[in-house]
Structure 1
Amino acid sequence: MVNRLETQLIPALFEALQNDRLVTIATIDHETGGPMIHAISWIYAVDESTLRFAVTSRSRMIENLEKNTAVAINIIANESTYTITGKSNILSKQEEPIPLKVSIVEVHIEEIRDVMFYGAKIVSEPTYEKTYDLVAAEKLDRQVIDALKKGN
């Protein structure tokens, strides 16, 4: 996909976004008007042109998206790094029955660009681990992913 513009997820990216995945999301800060980067893991590809993600309802990202729906998502997958841009829509601000107050955001993909610098490839994707009760984390992750799949 180098030097190409896509308007839908290629199969490798769609597959990568079917599981728990570290991504960063850029929004426009509602107070400063400058860029703000957020890291999340609750993201899911509904289809080739739609993503959904969840964040705590008190996240500054929600305030930002209420004022400006533009969003850019960076994902490292398929031996490269991609920027997915689009418009967001906050589907819900309190998803039941999730015990943590989370908001569900849907993104209509407008474009996807491979932004890896020339002559290189990613040889190891970023990993992370949960630092709280693993049983509780797995339960919460299942509830959130189910909510993302359902939408609203």
Structure 2
Amino acid sequence: MANKIETSLSNELLTLLRQERYVSLSTVDHETDAPSVSAISWLYALDQDTIRFSVESRSSILDNLKKNDNLVITFIGNGSTYAISGRGVILSEEIENMPIKLALIECSVDEVKDIMFYGARMIREPEFEKMYDAEAAVKLDNQVMDAMKRASSG
């Protein structure tokens, strides 16, 4: 089903994007206008048309989105690779009551595209391990996910 294009997340993708996962985020660099790619994991799909994510407040992602709000979220799931194009709005440059300074961004989904090359299927999803205190990681993850779910839209 390579290169199938939709205008919103399917129920399957919505479920996948309600779990912490490794995704790449592409924005347009605010200084060079070249593509800029970052890896993130704090992401949550509110509904089929809205995805929120959180990054460090000092991330260049914020400067990039202030100049050009276009973005692409790419991830592997359900045996394929997907690119979600949309526009990012910074809801908060610093989420309150967090132990570290994090920004909250909301993406309105314009297009969801299955970008897997013809005749192939992903047999394994990427896995990652947090290299700092496991208990602190779980606590922070829960705080960030809760903030993404409850913040009011911009």
Q: TM-score, normalised by structure 1?
A: 0.98
Residue number in structure 1 paired with 2:93? 93
- Letter paired with 1:97: N
- Which residue does 1:66 correspond to in 2? 66
Q: Paired residue for 1:5?
A: 5
User: Partners in 1 of 2:3 and 2:85 — Cα distance?
Assistant: 16
CA distance in 1, matches of 2:5, 2:118: 16
Task: Judge conservation of contact 2:90–2:105 (CA < 8 Å) in 1.
Answer: yes
Write the mapping of 1:109-120 to structure 2, written as runs, cut at 5 A.
Answer: 109-120=109-120
> Gaps (5+ residues) in structure 1?
none
Q: Is the 8 A contact 2:57 2:94 kept in 1?
A: yes
In structure 2, C-alpha distance between the alignment counterparts of 1:29 and 1:9, rounded to whole Å: 26
Q: How many Å apart are 1:3 and its aligned residue?
A: 3.0
Query: In structure 1, how many angstroms separate the alpha carbons of the residues matched to 2:25 and 2:45?
Result: 15
Q: Distance in 2 between matches of 1:56 and 1:118?
A: 36
TM-fit CA distance, 1:120: 0.5
* Residue aligned with 1:76, SS: strand
- Output the amino acid matched with 1:31: E
Instruction: State the Cα distance separating 1:2 from its structure 2 match.
Output: 2.8
Q: Distance in 2 between matches of 1:60 and 1:4?
A: 31
CA contact (8 A) 2:2 2:117 kept: no
Amino acid corresponding to residue 104 of structure 1 in structure 2? L
Report the Cα distance in structure 2 between the residues aligned to 1:137 and 1:129, rounded to whole angstroms: 10
Counterpart mapping for 1:17-96 below 5 A: 17-96=17-96
- Aligned partners of 1:82, 1:8: CA distance in 2, in Å? 12
Task: Measure, in 1, the Cα distance between the counterparts of 2:151 and 2:119.
Answer: 39
CA RMSD of aligned residues (A): 0.8
Question: Partner residue of 2:122?
Answer: 122
Match of 2:18, as an amino acid?
Answer: Q
What whole-Å deviation, never above 9, does each CA across 1:69-90 have from its counterpart, x for those lacking one? 0000101011000000001100
Structure 2: 5+ residue stretches without partners: none
Q: 1:133 aligns to what? A: 133
Give the secondary-structure state (helix, strand or coil) at the position aligned to 1:137.
helix
TM-score by length of 2: 0.96
Task: Output the CA distance in 2 between the equivalents of 1:3 and 1:111.
Answer: 12
Identity of aligned residues (%): 47
Deviation at 1:99, TM superposition (A): 1.1
